[in-house]
Amino acid sequence: MIKGQDIVVVGIQPWDIEIGSNCKNIALEFAKYNRVLYVNPPMDRSTERRESHKATIQKRIRIKQGLENGLEKIKENLWNLYPHQMVESINWIPLKGVYNTLNKRNATRFAADIKSTISQLGFKDFILFNDSSMFLGLHLKQLLKPKVYAYYMRDYLVKVPYWQKHGERVEPQTVKSADVVLTNSEFFEDMCAQINPHSYMVGQGCDVSLFNDDAGSIQIPDAFKNIPKPVIGYVGSLTTLRLDIELIEYIAKQRKDWSVVLVGPEDSDFKNSNLHNLENVYFLGRKDASELPNYVKGFDVAINPQLTNNLTIGNYPRKIDEYLAMGKPTLATKTKAMEMFQDYVYLASSKEEYITLAEKALQEHSIPLAKKRSEFANGHTWENNVKDIYNSIKKATKDTILWD
């Protein structure tokens, strides 16, 4: 472990985000042995105008006006900074030169807030950990002069329309500028290594404690009482950006004696799909995160029928760890990122393989196999993830920094 260091964390998700966040979990682990400043993304002008009715934006407006302190202590060794300077909304600008100038000005404003705060906290020789903030992050090494600049890539953001406009040319520059690039899949590691030789796959942390059923205390919901077995199930957002509706329909039609159970909120395409007309497909709706283990326990085979596209090809799906933590036979679409699971997950390259591998999963399931799956998933803790981050930072900087 790296201990006794000062670490500044920047990224694209604020501390007060309503959903789970890799970056927040990593920051909490950092703070066990180091002082950590977690910096929220700066508010931009269009967000202030568009979302001024929200409590989170109202708080930022008060901070901008000097009516409220932007630095909050979360816990021992961990602070959260709300930048008081606002940045301009520039993503719409088509001209590269104009965009570049304004992006650097935004970064300079952002860096000024960080400099002021690290001076206030007495941070020195700090590590800068950047979670995917590719635009502002392009200039932060130059502006902040950290001891180590680490860039963390965990999603293929440049294939998302907003990020794609300037990201396809800017993110490679940010990757190149970093002292070390950290990724959560081999796909991203291979991609980044072509730009920066100090690129390392550090895996993914996951809190699977909710999915620990060693005591047998997790109860299958009553909703399963009238659903015939075997149950082929999925939990998560039902969105056609990531999931293959045609594949799910194929499974249901090919094996009418199987029940396909889908747990989660639906997008409009799922709501209007033919799946709702199939007698052996069951939509159980959105559930609270605390309830998901109960539903996974009701599955005989857990699936992740994702499309293979720019959004998913390098994606590390945390639901796989959750399935495995419960010892469930797990079937997923084969991608580069999923290769690390190949000894524990059935990986399918076609809709036909989904059928044959689901049959194999049902036949092979055993208590010893369930135990192996659970042990594997329980190794993917945030603590182990951060250990790999530390080791990669040390490896990348061993010729320039003497670590304890």
Cα separation, 120 vs 140, in Å, equals: 19
Condensed to tens digits (0 to 9), the pLDDT of residues 87-117 reads: 999 999 999 999 999 999 999 999 999 999 9
For the cut 80, the answer to whether the pLDDT of residue 404 exceeds it is no
Q: Is the pLDDT of residue 242 over 90?
A: no
User: How much is the average pLDDT of 212-219?
Assistant: 88
What is the pTM for the complete model shown?
0.84
Same domain, 217 and 137: no
Please indicate, yes or no, whether residues 187 and 228 belong to a single structural domain of this protein. Answer: no
**Residues forming a β-bridge with 238:** 266
At 241, is the pLDDT very low, low, confident or very high (cuts 50, 70, 90)?
confident
Tell me the pLDDT tens digit for each residue of 131-153. Answer: 999 999 999 999 999 999 999 99
**404 belongs to a structural domain:** no
Q: In sequence order, what are the beta bridge partners of 128?
A: 8, 149
The answer on pLDDT for 26 being more than 90 is yes
User: Are residues 219 and 82 part of one domain?
Assistant: no
Does residue 403 fall inside a structural domain?
A: no
pLDDT in tens, 247-259: 999 999 999 999 9
Strand partners, 232: 260, 301
Q: What is the CATH number of the domain that holds 357?
A: 3.40.50.2000
Residues 169 and 237 in one domain: no
How large is the average pLDDT for residues 195-210? 90
Q: Do 267 and 180 sit in the same domain of this protein? A: no
Q: Same domain for 196 and 238?
A: no
Q: Give the distance from CA 360 to its chain's centroid.
A: 30
Are 115 and 144 within 8 A, CB to CB? yes
Regarding whether 196 and 50 lie in a shared domain, the answer is yes
Distance CA 296, CA 397 (A): 43
Taking the C-alpha atoms of 24, 25, 31 and 32 in order, what is their torsion angle to the nearest 10 degrees?
Answer: 170
User: What confidence tens digit (pLDDT) does each residue in 318-371 have?
Assistant: 889 999 999 999 999 998 888 889 999 999 999 999 999 999 999 999 999 999
- Asked if residue 165 belongs to a domain, the reply is yes
Range of the domain at 86: 6-205+382-397
Q: How many CA atoms lie within 13 A of 15 on its CB side?
A: 23
Query: What percentage of the chain exceeds 90 in pLDDT?
Result: 81
Residue 262 in this model has a pLDDT that exceeds 90: yes
pLDDT tens, position by position, 58-77: 999 999 999 999 999 999 99
On whether both 279 and 302 belong to a single domain, the answer is: yes
Q: Quick one: tokens of 150? A: 């680490």
**What CATH code is carried by the domain that includes residue 78?**
3.40.50.11010
Token readout for 285 is 């709706």
Residue 240 lies in a domain: yes
Same domain, 288 and 317: yes
283 vs 311, more confident: 283
Asked whether residue 367 falls in the same domain as residue 324, the answer is yes
Confirm if 377 and 205 have CB atoms less than 8 A apart.
no
37 pLDDT band, cuts 50/70/90, is: very high
Give me the percent of the chain exceeding a pLDDT of 70. Answer: 100
Do β-strands 127-131 and 148-153 pair in parallel, antiparallel, or remain unpaired? parallel
| Largest interatomic CA distance in the chain | 66
Residue 258 in tokens: 């199987």
In a domain, 288, yes or no: yes
Q: Is the peptide bond before 230 cis (omega within 30 degrees of 0)?
A: yes
As a whole number, mean pLDDT of residues 47-67 equals: 92
> Domains in the chain: how many in total?
2
- Residues 39, 101, single domain; the answer is yes
pLDDT given at position 30? 96
387's CB contacts (< 8 A; 6+ apart) are 1
pLDDT score at 308: 85
* 148-153 and 78-81 beta bridge pairing: unpaired
Q: Calculate the alpha carbon distances from 149 to 10, 81, 129, 162 in Å.
A: 11, 19, 6, 25
**pLDDT for the residue 101:** 97
Q: What is the DSSP letter of 82?
A: -
91 shares its domain with 225: no
